Amino acid sequence: MGTTGDTLAAGNEALYEAAFRTGDYAEAEAVFTGLLDRARAEGDRALEAAALDRLGMLAHFRAIEGDLDRADADAEQRLFEQALAIRRELDDPAGVAESLFGLGLVHQVFHDDWATAMPLYREGLELAEKHGDLLLRSELHRHIGFFHTLDDLESDRALHHLRISHELRAELGDPRWIPGGTVAVGLAEIADGLREQGLAHVRQALRQARDAGLSARRIEWIEGFLREAEASA
């Protein structure tokens, strides 16, 4: 029988495979729900927080693939808040960073509330740079980069964070995550006046997505970004 860490890793793998390729979250949901039940039965607070956080992220991936207006943002927020409270209580800095990121996503994506999201992202990044893994650091840099692209329009700062995010994804080496980093860098370069360089990156992202076997929806997203970029003056 595998360890709890192995089971969490298997759940994450199922989650990412669903998010990037299959759209079928049943396996990941079963893993995380089972871990949550076990954690509560055994009084394992760290495992409870991890399972709550993963269920929150699963809800988030499902939501962004569907109609955001119909998503249960409050339920997702409660999952991340419960995980965050436990992890603060346990003084788990890597876990706190992870749950801060999830909570930031709720405010950014569902409410377009950067004023609430950014302090969560910044605190999360400070902790993640010391305690977090490559993917979490990449995600935090990515969304801070989005803030500088979309909200305060500081394209040079956006590009700085998005390049770091992309480099971390490349270091991670998972081909499912790399196209999103490439396209984000490309769009930021275009916004910063580096049009041809940016277009080259968006086209590269499309090739990477196809080579990685990403879902039709994710490929369509990149194709849409490319069409808009090529049409822009």
pLDDT digits (tens, 9 = 90+) for 174-202: 999 999 999 999 999 998 899 999 999 99
Structure tokens at 52: 């709550």
What is 133-233's CATH topology? 1.25.40
Q: Read off the pLDDT band of 2 (50, 70, 90).
A: low
Domains 1-129 and 133-233 share a fold: yes
pLDDT at 1: 43
Q: pLDDT above 90 covers what percent of the chain?
A: 90
Give the whole-angstrom CA distance, residue 42 versus residue 18: 29
Please report where in the chains the tokens 């969490």 appear, as a residue: 8
* Domains in the chain: boundaries: 1-129, 133-233
**DSSP H helix total and E strand total for the chain:** 12, 0
State pLDDT tens for residues 13-28.
Answer: 999 999 999 999 999 9
Q: Considering the chain, what is the average pLDDT of its residues?
A: 95
**The pLDDT of residue 232 is above 60:** yes
pTM: 0.95
Query: Tell me, what DSSP letter sits at residue 71?
Result: S
To the question of domain 1-129 being in CATH 1.25.40.10, the answer is yes
DSSP state of 66: S
